Amino acid sequence: MRILIAGRGFDSLSRRETGAFEADQARALLSMGHDVRFAATDTRSIRRLRPPGLREYVLGGMKVVYCAIPAGAKPAFLSKKAQRSASERIWSRLDAENWRPDIVHAHFGAAMLEEARRRGIPTVYTEHSSRANADTVSAAEESREREEYGLADRLVCVSRTLARRVASRLGEEPVVIPNIADPVFLSAGAEEAVPHEGFRFVSAGNLIPSKCFDVLLRAFARLRARTGKSVSLTVIGDGPEEARLRELARTLGTDGSVTFTGRLERSAMAELYKNADAFVLASRSETFGVVLIEALSAGLPVIAARSGGPEDFVDDSNGMLVPADDIAALADAMERMPRLAGRYDRAALAASARDRFSPDAVAGALTALYGELTEC
């Protein structure tokens, strides 16, 4: 089957871009033997330094057609114009190569779907956006949803909670297909944990307000006041909140027990997880929660705030759920975790995650969906 995945910026040979979720799916579909190409329309600000215009390259055996038209935070009609212009250039390149997809699957923007519909090509749209992950949304957001979803023959959401919220607004029942856990974490889960002293918590994510790392640090400070220096916390990620969070850790007196690593490659994260005992995420809004399935894939039990996505897959068998923005509840869960950790079998956690979130599992679900819409 010829599959065109349309998403955001894609890793190039010389720099890291955005687009991990859709790129993971594209690679998984490619590994199943499909003819997959990736169309990246990039309309971020000019401050994101990269060459404008059309680029083509092969990465990991997959052809990438990338068009950058810097627009940034312009009025909606100008952003749409930039997206359409980028998609037109990509379609022209595909036509020049006489490559016609059997299906087009878009993520994070539906500009590529407009032309696909005009050509009679079946379309799929996956919703990931945190803007859609609310029971009530702005009029502008609902208008965006109606416009973009209307271009898709089938709508996919990455969690049941997100699907329920979308359905309640638009009356359409989306298909639920989760995101993918990188195989590097699944490999880590198959290995023995590295012996160490004390109990080690780890967390990961962009250091932005909605991820609530301040809540996590305050909960950890309460925990450390109760248990002493036998616990530690490693925070993976970077972002605009980093300086404030480092200062908060110092103010709380936990800076000696909290380590900020900055952004890490997935392989480095997986290696760090071998030395950890549990993963914790305090985020107040998650459409899915990829960092949680990565941790589970590596064999770590998890603690997560009830934030929309984690409720799909976190339960007593693999961790704990706590109310969002509740420092006391999070501290209590972190205090219980060292006593309960022995009941979690790391290999079993990893195997369960592999069954649900491996590239093969997700690509299989996508292939079945595409088969319903095409004659392939």
CATH number, domain containing residue 343: 3.40.50.2000
Between 83 and 246, the higher pLDDT residue: 246
pLDDT tens digits along 52-81: 789 898 988 899 999 888 766 656 667 778
User: Within this chain, do residues 267 and 173 fall inside the same structural domain, yes or no?
Assistant: no
Between 296 and 141, the higher pLDDT residue: 296
Q: What is the mean pLDDT of residues 290-303?
A: 96
User: Within this chain, do residues 155 and 168 fall inside the same structural domain, yes or no?
Assistant: yes
Q: How far apart are CA 249 and CA 89, in angstroms?
A: 48
User: Within this chain, do residues 346 and 368 fall inside the same structural domain, yes or no?
Assistant: no
User: Within this chain, do residues 282 and 175 fall inside the same structural domain, yes or no?
Assistant: no
pLDDT tens digits along 161-171: 999 999 999 88
The two structure tokens encoding residue 270: 């997986």
User: Within this chain, do residues 17 and 113 fall inside the same structural domain, yes or no?
Assistant: yes
Phi, psi of 281 (to 5 degrees): -135, 120
Q: How far apart are CA 10 and CA 309, in angstroms?
A: 24
User: Within this chain, do residues 130 and 263 fall inside the same structural domain, yes or no?
Assistant: no
Q: How many CB atoms lie within 10 A of CB 93?
A: 16
Q: Is the pTM of this model over 0.75?
A: yes
| pLDDT-based confidence at residue 231 (cuts at 50, 70, 90) | very high
Sequence-ordered list of residues with C-beta below 8 angstroms from that of 292, at least 6 positions apart, any chain: 279, 281, 302, 304, 309, 310, 313, 314
Instruction: Specify the number of domains making up the chain.
Output: 2
| pLDDT-based confidence at residue 245 (cuts at 50, 70, 90) | very high
User: Within this chain, do residues 108 and 245 fall inside the same structural domain, yes or no?
Assistant: no
| pLDDT-based confidence at residue 190 (cuts at 50, 70, 90) | low
Residue type, 136: T
User: Within this chain, do residues 193 and 311 fall inside the same structural domain, yes or no?
Assistant: yes
Mean pLDDT, the chain, rounded, equals 90
Q: Which of 128-142, 185-199, 228-242, 317-331 has the least mean pLDDT?
A: 185-199
User: Within this chain, do residues 223 and 174 fall inside the same structural domain, yes or no?
Assistant: no
User: Within this chain, do residues 227 and 322 fall inside the same structural domain, yes or no?
Assistant: yes
**Domain that includes residue 18, residue range:** 2-180+358-373
User: Within this chain, do residues 195 and 132 fall inside the same structural domain, yes or no?
Assistant: no
The helix-helix angle for 242-251 and 213-227 (nearest 10°) equals 20
Beta carbons of 112 and 93 less than 8 angstroms apart: no
Phi, psi of 355 (to 5 degrees): -60, -30
Q: Does the pLDDT value for residue 48 go beyond 90?
A: no
User: Within this chain, do residues 167 and 196 fall inside the same structural domain, yes or no?
Assistant: no
Q: Does the pLDDT value for residue 10 go beyond 60?
A: yes
